[in-house]
């Protein structure tokens, strides 16, 4: 008799907020050439997951799944099986990100099959829960700062600077020579100064560039000086330009080699990993409710 092995994953069939999230059993599959199967150790809850569960991306036509939509973007775990041509031994500790919206699988799962080139290596000194909080948001920040380029002493306002993306943009932009001010809540002032940036809770217009981690959109563009640069985080909804402000928008793309470097930066103390708390995968709806309340610093992490 043959038995089909299965694993548990959290998905939405009909979106509708946390109550719409279901745990389902899915068949295990072997990795194809170039792929690995990972036993997931930790998967953070990111704002994008709340929007997927709410049906926002179904509503704008970015998700068109016939049966179910996978939840979860980044993860950490260990390699369980490797396809042809992959040089990652079983047991290797990895972390990475699954990009794109329209998919029937995600990282809120006991296991995951993905391209080996999309994962980074987790250094021995970094625990897997902390590592899981980094790939999506540090890689987004790195690719956002690529869009900014070198600062040469110019002024940059990072909105949502105490958030996951903003909190990584700040040190990366400082390293690229920007004069960085973080716009965040009053309670975040100490965190911001700890990153080496100036802090404001209410920004005036006139910045050479704005990096919009708080998704202020038009209100963020209004803070840029005439002819300056705005970098947004919503590729599906870029704000309109005004006064010659150049609009750029980051859409994160998986990059295993760069993720390895970012994970090493965390061990070196250049990047901070922040864990708000851990919950078992079965409590995924509660995790979404906690994040939906707002004001969370660091990531809630699901443990399959």
Ligand X SMILES: NC(=O)c1ccc[n+]([C@@H]2O[C@H](COP(=O)([O-])OP(=O)(O)OC[C@H]3O[C@@H](n4cnc5c(N)ncnc54)[C@H](OP(=O)(O)O)[C@@H]3O)[C@@H](O)[C@H]2O)c1
CB atoms within 10 A of CB 63: 20
Write each residue from 30 to 69 as x if it is in contact with ligand X (CB under 6 A), else as -, in one continuous string.
----------------xxx---------------------
Site string (76-115) toward ligand X, x via CB under 6 A: ----------------------------------------
Give the β-pairing of 6-12 and 69-70.
antiparallel
Which residue among 33, 100, 227, 235 contacts ligand X (CB under 6 A)? 235
Q: How many residues form the binding site for ligand X (CB under 6 A)?
A: 25
Residue 232 near residue 250 (C-beta atoms within 8 A): yes
CB distance 211 to 144 below 8 Å: yes
Long-range contacts of 268-272 (CB under 8 A, 24+ apart): 270/171, 271/134, 271/138, 271/168, 271/171, 272/167, 272/195
- Closest to ligand X by CB, 31 or 254: 254
233 near ligand X (CB under 6 A): yes
At closest approach, how far in Å is the CB of 116 from ligand X? 22
Q: Give the Å distances, CA to CA, from 47 to 33, 52, 62, 152, 227.
A: 32, 9, 16, 32, 31
Among residues 17, 149, 177, 251, which is the contact residue for ligand X, using CB under 6 A? 251
Nearer to ligand X, 228 or 254 (CB): 254
86 or 233, CB closer to ligand X?
A: 233
Q: Which is nearer to ligand X, 126 or 138 (CB)?
A: 138
- Give whichever of 101 and 105 is closer to ligand X, judged by the CB atom: 101
Subset of residues 118 to 177 that bind ligand X, contact rule: CB under 6 A: 136-137, 140, 160, 162-166
Which CB, 82 or 291, lies closer to ligand X? 291
CB of 54 to ligand X, least distance (A): 12
Q: Which residue, 112 or 211, has its beta carbon nearer to ligand X?
A: 211
Window 189 to 208, contacts with ligand X (CB under 6 A): none
Name the residues that contact ligand X, by CB under 6 A. 46-48, 136-137, 140, 160, 162-166, 183-185, 213-215, 233, 235, 250-252, 294-295
């Amino acid at each position: 008799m043959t038995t089909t092995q299965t694993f548990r994953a959290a998905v939405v069939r009909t979106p509708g907020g946390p109550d719409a999230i279901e745990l389902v059993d899915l068949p295990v599959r072997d990795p194809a050439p170039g792929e690995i199967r990972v036993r997931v150790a930790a998967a953070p809850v990111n704002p994008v997951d709340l929007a997927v569960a709410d049906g926002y991306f179904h509503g704008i036509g970015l998700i068109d799944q016939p049966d179910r939509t996978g939840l979860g973007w980044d993860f950490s775990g260990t390699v369980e099986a490797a396809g042809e041509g992959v040089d990652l031994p079983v047991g290797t500790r990895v972390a990475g990100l699954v990009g794109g919206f329209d998919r029937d699988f995600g990282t809120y799962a006991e296991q995951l099959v993905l391209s080996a080139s999309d994962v980074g290596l987790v250094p021995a000194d970094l625990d897997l829960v902390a590592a899981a909080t980094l790939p999506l948001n540090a890689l987004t920040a790195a690719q956002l700062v690529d869009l900014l380029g070198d600062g040469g002493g110019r002024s940059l306002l990072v909105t949502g600077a105490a958030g996951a993306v903003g909190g990584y943009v700040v040190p990366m932009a400082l390293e690229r020579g920007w004069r960085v001010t973080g716009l965040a809540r009053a309670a975040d002032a100490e965190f911001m100064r700890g990153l080496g940036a100036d802090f404001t809770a209410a920004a005036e217009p006139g910045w050479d560039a704005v990096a919009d981690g708080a998704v202020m959109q038009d209100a963020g563009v209004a803070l840029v000086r005439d002819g300056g640069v705005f970098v947004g985080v919503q590729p599906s909804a870029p704000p309109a330009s005004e006064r010659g402000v150049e609009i750029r928008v980051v859409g994160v793309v998986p990059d295993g080699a760069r993720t390895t470097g970012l994970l090493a930066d965390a061990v070196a103390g250049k990047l901070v990993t922040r864990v708000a708390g851990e919950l078992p995968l079965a409590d995924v709806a509660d995790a979404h409710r906690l994040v939906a309340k707002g004001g969370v610093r660091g990531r809630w992490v699901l443990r399959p």
